[in-house]
Structure 1
């Protein structure tokens, strides 16, 4: 049975299952590209920012455009003069926004993983109802084609639902774990900055420079 025959045999329920499959595929590809740890929370950024603070003005424009973690640290540095608690509060607020962005589309993916087996089960029930309707009808024993159609719908929709649900559930759990890992990395590096600021005796020099001058070398000038 090829794909077209399977779609026909499964009946109208194959349309929402196919739609769920396409949506899940798009979400998985987008999240695989977006949830890259080196893009969101590059290793060593916290130590680099501490070094820049020692050497001179910290270019907040460069830091914000560097990565989401850089944006979190820039939010904390803007409130460095207001005290340790304010820095922690702004870091937490900015990190919450980044985590929210990382969790984007995970809820729809989890929903797809949950409802597609139910759609397959619904197809199974409808197919079996059709089978029993043929059996109890007059001359049902001779209507083998109708019996086969009902059984085919029952089997195809169940298989299709599980085929969509299993990968969707696996990727949903995988992305949840990746978000947790990246969050831990962000907390560790932001913690370095908080500890450094708590022991830093001098004032924090900040600078806003245009996009043409956003390299780390500009921070040391």
Structure 2
């Protein structure tokens, strides 16, 4: 592996840094973007149960808000319900917007890595071929070892760029899809809350789904 890195030339340094950053982002996002951690399925039903028991205290509301993104959205709607349906929906939208922003953290960087690393590999290819042609101009075509070294550098950087870009792009798509699914679920739960709070839906219907 070391030999390949050194053979690829100086362009391998930013490619290696990009690969380390991509791995770190993927691990962090896989851990953070767990649906059970962001939008627990039975949270709305649990909140209704607490309301019925008159146990939904400000302290419990604060705890629910801090435990998950869905919790923060539902609490925002619940605490603003007395101001009317429009204000309730606006509060939910604001909380959801902040949650989406948090869920999309680092994804721009991951997408950039997926887009840029093939270009970095291509740049390494171009630099390697320039080196080859310079050697041809200086020594002619008789020194096969030098020519092979330049071509090897070009091929290694191209491959390295693809090796970093392909998994990065796959993970980026996976995370984007996961966020979309979570957001849809959060919207559905929030609408159930709004409907119940303003008399358009029964509590039992909302709790069941």
* TM-score using structure 2 length: 0.90
Question: Partner of 1:51 in structure 2?
Answer: 49
* 1:42 and 2:13 are equivalent in the alignment: no
Q: How big is each residue's C-alpha offset from its partner over 1:176-202, in whole Å with a ceiling of 9 and x where there is no partner?
A: 0000011011111111111110118xx
Give the 3-state SS of the residue equivalent to 1:181 in structure 2. helix
CA distance in 1, matches of 2:155, 2:73: 51
- Structure 2 matches for 1:49-88, cutoff 5 A? 49-59=47-57, 60-88=61-89
CA distance in 2, matches of 1:66, 1:14: 42
Give the 3-state SS of the residue equivalent to 1:12 in structure 2. coil
4+ runs deviating over 3 angstroms: none
- Structure 2 matches for 1:87-98, cutoff 5 A? 87-98=88-99
Query: How many aligned residue pairs are there?
Result: 197
* TM-score using structure 1 length: 0.85
- Using CA pairs under 8 Å that are at least 6 residues apart, name the structure with larger relative contact order, 1 or 2: 1
What are structure 1's unaligned runs of at least 5 residues? 201-221
CA distance in 1, matches of 2:67, 2:28: 20
Question: Partner of 1:174 in structure 2?
Answer: 174
CA distance in 2, matches of 1:62, 1:26: 29
What are structure 2's unaligned runs of at least 5 residues? 201-209
Over the aligned positions, Cα root-mean-square deviation in angstroms equals 1.3
Question: Partner of 2:112 in structure 1?
Answer: 111
CA distance in 2, matches of 1:38, 1:83: 30
